[in-house]
Amino acid sequence: MTSMHHRTTSLERTTEAYNQRATAYTNALGNINSTSPIDQSRISQWATNIHGRICDLGCGPGHWTHFLHETGASVVGYDPSDQFVDIASSKFPYLNFHTGTARDLPPAHFGGILTWYSLIHTAPEHLNEELSFIAKALSPGGSLLMGFFTGDDILPFNHAISQGWFYPIDFIRTRLQEAGFTVQSSSTRKDEGARAHGDIHAVLTS
């Protein structure tokens, strides 16, 4: 009970911080031109192999949701911040956005789920729970693409909005396997002036 309460309080605190900064965040980073071409290629290639609908989980102002739509994917966005959902719905009125977290996703509904930097505020002790909710929302054989900040050790850092976490690739790999996934590929890189990036593609074991 204590752990669940702590998780809820932490999520509420992070969500409120994003609500307060949603417009500033959107102006600074909520545009596909602000993203790495490497990330765009990675996400585009992943999306072309998805059978069924994609969920952009933690969609923020919706720029990746729109990007996925432009690749021809059937996509919906979810974010716990109602301010982000309002902004995304205004910018892309032809797409569907919902206020919610992984816990709110319909079961066995999606062929693919994108969590691009949307789990960076999830503390290590709560990561298994989040990944289990994601697994439940995927259809058998469904695909997850996860982007995050990586490093040699599990460490918190001062993110501009709310505390974030560095996660080693092997740590994420193990958590995914525990949630029923088979890791297909992973990569890391360090762009100049940015924190180290990691991403993992994993498929839900049928």
- Ordered DSSP codes for 144-191: EEEEEE--SS-EEE--SSS-EEE--HHHHHHHHHHTTEEEEEEEEE--
> CA separation (Å) from 135 to 109, 121, 175, 189?
10, 19, 12, 26
> CA-to-CA distance for 73 and 69, rounded, in angstroms?
5
CATH code of residue 17: 3.40.50.150
pLDDT score for 21: 63
Q: Which domain holds residue 175?
A: 2-204
> CA-to-CA distance for 66 and 94, rounded, in angstroms?
10
pLDDT score for 22: 58
> CA-to-CA distance for 138 and 202, rounded, in angstroms?
12
Token pair of 109 as six digits: 């509904």
> CA separation (Å) from 60 to 9, 29, 84, 104, 171?
20, 10, 5, 16, 25
Q: Model's pTM, two decimal places? A: 0.88
Nearest CA among 129, 66, 73, 70 for reference residue 101: 129
What is the rounded radius of gyration, in angstroms, for the C-alpha atoms of the chain? 16
The number of C-alpha atoms within 13 Å of 52 and in the hemisphere containing its C-beta is 15
Q: Find out whether 118 and 58 touch, Cβ atoms under 8 Å.
A: yes
Number of domains in the chain: 1
In a structure prediction context, what are the per-residue pLDDT tens digits for the chain, which is 206 residues long? Answer: 444 445 557 777 766 766 566 566 556 666 788 889 999 999 999 999 999 999 999 999 999 999 999 999 999 999 998 889 999 999 999 999 999 999 999 999 999 999 999 998 898 999 999 999 999 999 999 999 999 999 999 998 876 666 789 999 999 999 999 999 999 999 999 988 888 999 999 999 96
CA of residue 184 relative to chain centroid, distance? 18
Q: Find out whether 75 and 68 touch, Cβ atoms under 8 Å.
A: yes
pLDDT score for 193: 82
